[in-house]
Chains A and B, each alone.
Chain A
C-alpha cells in the first residue's frame, strides 16, 4: 500500500468533481504511476467521457503537465515511476485560456 497526494491543477479538477487535492491510499504492491493513473480513471473520474480529457493512447494526454514531487515526469520514468509514501503527484492542464 502507498499513500500519495494527487493534485489536479490548471482547471483539470473539472474531471474529479472540482476537488483539487486528493489524498489517496493505493492498495497495490510496488505501485507505479500507471497504477495511480488507472485508479484515477476507474475510481475518481466521475463522468466516463472525461477519461479522454485525461488519457490518450494509454498515456497522459499531451497538453497536461505531470509532475512527480515537482519534477517533470519525463525525468522520472513516466508511467513506470514507482510511487513512495508521501509523494506529491500533480496534473496541470495547459490548454485553458491564457
Chain B
C-alpha cells in the first residue's frame, strides 16, 4: 500500500490580529490546544508539543544514558509519532539511548500486514533497526485463528495478553529491558473512567502510572505520551506529514470501552481540558488499606498472601511470571481445547465466531 502526504493549502490571506498565535503573537494560529484552549501557530505548536514530551521524559527519569530502548511500533499514528519524536529528542537533547523498533505481527489479514508495511517504511525513513515477532512463531496461533475458535467478543482480551507478552519476549531476545509505548493521555483518561465505571479498583490505582511492568516481567514499560492529547498527536503527524497507517482493527473494540470512549468525547466537547484533569485525578486516587475497607471483618494477617519472588517462571513456557502458569499459557490451554472440539463439531453456534469464520474464508483468497 502506498502513502501520500496530505495536500498543502494554497490560499493565503493577510491576517487579522484575532487570528494570531497566542504565544508568539506574530504567526497565524492553526490549532486551539485542548489542554488550555490556547490558540497557537504551527511553529509554536511544534515547540511546545516536543518540549512537553521532553519534560515528561526528564521529570520522570524515563531514560538512562547508554540504555537500549525498544519502541513498540504498530504503524499507527501514536507509535509513528513516537518513533519520530524519540529519534528527534534523543538527538536534540542527547539522551544517549539506542532506539530499536519492535513490532508484533498478530496475524490479522488485511489489518496488520498493511500496518507492518508502514512500519517498514518508517524504519527506512528514520534509519532505526526493526525486529518483528509474530504470534504464529511465539504461540503457533494467529489472531485470525484465535477469533475463529474463541469468538470475536474476546478477541481484545487474547490479543492484549499475547501482545504484551510478545513485546516483552521480543525485547528480551534483543537484550532490551525497556519498551516505550505510544499510549496517550486520551487512552489513559479513558482507562481511569472505565475502571471507575466498572468498579475495577485493583487497576484503578495503577492506571495512571507512567512506568509499569507486567506480571513479574523484568521489562519496564514507559509512556512518554502520558500527557499528550490524541488530537495533538494526530495534528503533529499531519503537519509533519508523517506516514502512518489508520484502519480500524478488523475485530471491533470492546463494547464497554466503546461507551466510555463516547462519554469521553462528549466531555471533551464541553471541557477540553478534562483529559488532563482526569489524569490529575487518577494520580490522586488512593485506595483505603484493605483492613480499612473491610473494617467490619476481622483483620487477617497480611503476610499470608503468596508474594512474587523475583525469577518465578511459568511451568509451561519458562517465561517469567508471578503465577505458576503464565496468563498467556492459560489462554493457550483454553484455545487448544476449543480447537480440538471445533474440528469435531463443524457447526459453530456462537454468532461472532461464525461470522468471523465467514470473514476468514473470504480473506484467505
Report which A residues bind B (CB closer than 8 A).
5, 7, 9-11, 14, 20-21, 62-63, 65, 67, 69-72, 74-75, 84, 86-88, 90, 92-98
Contact = CB atoms under 8 A, between A and B. Distances in A.
Given A5-B7, A10-B77, 20 more contacts: A7-B6, A14-B247, A65-B234, A65-B235, A71-B29, A71-B30, A75-B30, A75-B32, A75-B39, A84-B11, A87-B9, A87-B11, A88-B11, A90-B6, A90-B7, A92-B238, A94-B230, A96-B247, A98-B76, A98-B78
Interface residues of B, number: 39
B78 A69 contact: no
Interface stretch (B58-66, B87-95, B170-178, B180-188): B180-188
A44 B155 CA distance: 33
Contact of A94 (B183, B234, B269): B234
B266 interface: yes
B312 interface: no
A14 to B, nearest CB: 8
Nearest to A73: B32
Contact of B19 (A75, A84, A90): A75
Nearest to B13: A84
A72 B247 contact: no
A11 B247 contact: yes
A98 B77 contact: yes
B296 to A, nearest CB: 44
A20 B4 CA distance: 10
Interface of B: 4, 6-11, 19, 28-32, 39, 42, 74, 76-79, 182-184, 187, 230-231, 234-235, 238-239, 246-249, 261, 265-266, 268-269
A10, A20, A87, A97, most chain B CB atoms within 10 A: A97
B28 A71 contact: yes
Contact of A86 (B11, B31, B42): B11
B243 to A, nearest CB: 12
Contacts of A65: 231, 234-235, 238
B244 to A, nearest CB: 8
B238 A63 contact: no
24 contacts: A9-B246, A10-B234, A62-B265, A62-B266, A62-B268, A63-B265, A70-B9, A70-B42, A71-B31, A72-B32, A72-B235, A74-B32, A75-B19, A75-B30, A87-B11, A88-B8, A88-B9, A88-B11, A92-B238, A96-B247, A96-B248, A98-B76, A98-B79, A98-B182
B35 to A, nearest CB: 14
A72 B268 contact: no
B314 to A, nearest CB: 29
A42 to B, nearest CB: 24
Contacts of B8: 70, 88
Interface of B is mostly: mixed
Nearest to B30: A71
A11 B266 CA distance: 21
A69 B31 CA distance: 12
A87 B8 CA distance: 10
Contacts of A93: 246
A62 B4 CA distance: 25
A7 B9 CA distance: 11
A21 to B, nearest CB: 7
A20 to B, nearest CB: 7
Nearest to B248: A96
B16 to A, nearest CB: 11
A69 B261 CA distance: 29
Nearest to B246: A11
A86 B10 CA distance: 7
A87 B10 CA distance: 7
Contacts of A7: 6-7
Given A65-B231, A92-B238, A75 B184 contact: no
A40 to B, nearest CB: 17
Nearest to B75: A97
B20 to A, nearest CB: 11
Contacts of B265: 62-63
A69 B76 contact: no
A10 B76 CA distance: 9
Nearest to B229: A94
